[in-house]
Chains A and B, each alone.
Chain A
Amino acid sequence: MTSESWLYRATREIRFAPDREAVRQELRGHLADRVEALVEQGRPLPEAEKAAVEAMGDPEAVAAELGRIHAPWWGYLWRASQVVLVLAVVIAVWGMLVQRPDLLGSRPDLPEGDVYATRYGTEWDVLEMWRPAGTKKLGGYWFRVPMAWLMGGEYASENEAGEMVEKRSCYLMVCLRADTWKFWEPCSSGQDMVLENMALDSEGEHYGWDSRDCRPLFCETWQEPFTSWYLVWFSLPGPEDVPAWVEVPVGYGGGTVRVDLMAEVIS
């Protein structure tokens, strides 16, 4: 073993680099003194070096002791504080996202004025708008209804006689958002829940995908890492048929979100 490799092995367990270097210097000096003494006694240099290293003893034993003594509590404290800082930032960001996931999610196009243009380019008149308050927690997801609105429109359609006539249409739109911190499990089942079940309203009407024995209902969905968006379309015969509340099935043990349009609150 050379003196440098002895020095390396003997100081390896000193964690804090400046301390390690200082101890290495001291031990290097010791070895140099020993080599000098042996050379003065008449030993050739390579032999003197070898003997000096041997005289130092087992480097692992020394390393263990030195490591124990030079345990740098403040070096660890510094490193620990860095870890704590990183963790704190991660937790702060995550905590914020859990509370305010609206900062992350980009909302779908919601009407700002009297007109609502769908992504297919159809334009509808916004007849009424609600912003229900409240949050409903279901199965690790926070449900909110940022907006609900009533829209009416006319579109051209063929009647049975094959003539193009204007048909009036009315929809109650409910925009739902489901936020979760479980970014690996976005609330994708929501759309299935809505479409596989029936929605209900205060007048006892049912709404569903299969509209043979109920009013038609459609559901669109957008997924984002922490947020799932739903746009539920309730087909109404006319604007006067707006119910006091609607109940949307969202899953998670038969959970529903009731949107109270009169009180403008969800539950």
Chain B
Amino acid sequence: MAKKEMGSTSMLVLALLKEKEMYGYQIIEELDRRSEHVFQMKEGTLYPVLHGLEKDRLIAAREAETVKGRVRRYYAVTEKGLRVLEEKKKEWNTFSKAVTAILAGA
């Protein structure tokens, strides 16, 4: 797979899904809750991210029926997704260290 630019949302989604599989709505709620309302994205825009990750095989989807009969699409991270997540985490840490270093001096 060619190395592609990955948005930070993708990285966060991968991080969440590492813990457990979730469906779209759940992901929105978790991002909001864990970031203490910092990450409140427009909910529609999550889905292109999810489908893009799925297309790149970083996550995999399965469908499950709820008690009420609604079909939900659950996403789980793949082996490849885990590797990419680790890579992105390292990049992010390098980046944030650098920013902190510059800001500390300011």
> In the complex, what's the smallest C-beta–C-beta distance from B60 to chain A, in angstroms?
15
Chain B neighbourhood of A65, CB < 8 A: 45, 48, 52
What are the interface flags for A24-63 relative to B under an 8 Å C-beta threshold, 1 for contact and 0 otherwise? 0111011011100000000000000000000111110110
Contact-residue bracket for chain B: 10 to 19
The CA of A70 and the CA of B25, in the complex, are separated in Å by 20
> In the complex, what's the smallest C-beta–C-beta distance from A155 to chain B, in angstroms?
87
The CA of A61 and the CA of B47, in the complex, are separated in Å by 12
> In the complex, what's the smallest C-beta–C-beta distance from A57 to chain B, in angstroms?
3
Contact-residue bracket for chain A: 20 to 34
Chain A neighbourhood of B42, CB < 8 A: 55-58
Chain B neighbourhood of A23, CB < 8 A: 47, 51
The CA of A108 and the CA of B44, in the complex, are separated in Å by 72
Tell me, yes or no, whether B72 is within 8 Å of chain A by CB.
yes
Tell me, yes or no, whether A69 is within 8 Å of chain B by CB.
yes
In the complex where A29-B25, A66-B51, A69-B55 touch, is A10 in contact with B70 (Cβ < 8 A)? Answer: no
Residue numbers of B with Cβ under 8 A of A are 23-25, 42-45, 47-48, 51-52, 55, 70-73
Given pairs A27-B47, A29-B70, A58-B44, 20 additional interface contacts (CB within 8 A): A10-B44, A26-B73, A30-B24, A30-B25, A30-B47, A32-B70, A33-B25, A34-B25, A56-B43, A57-B45, A58-B42, A61-B45, A62-B45, A62-B47, A66-B47, A66-B48, A66-B51, A68-B48, A69-B52, A70-B51
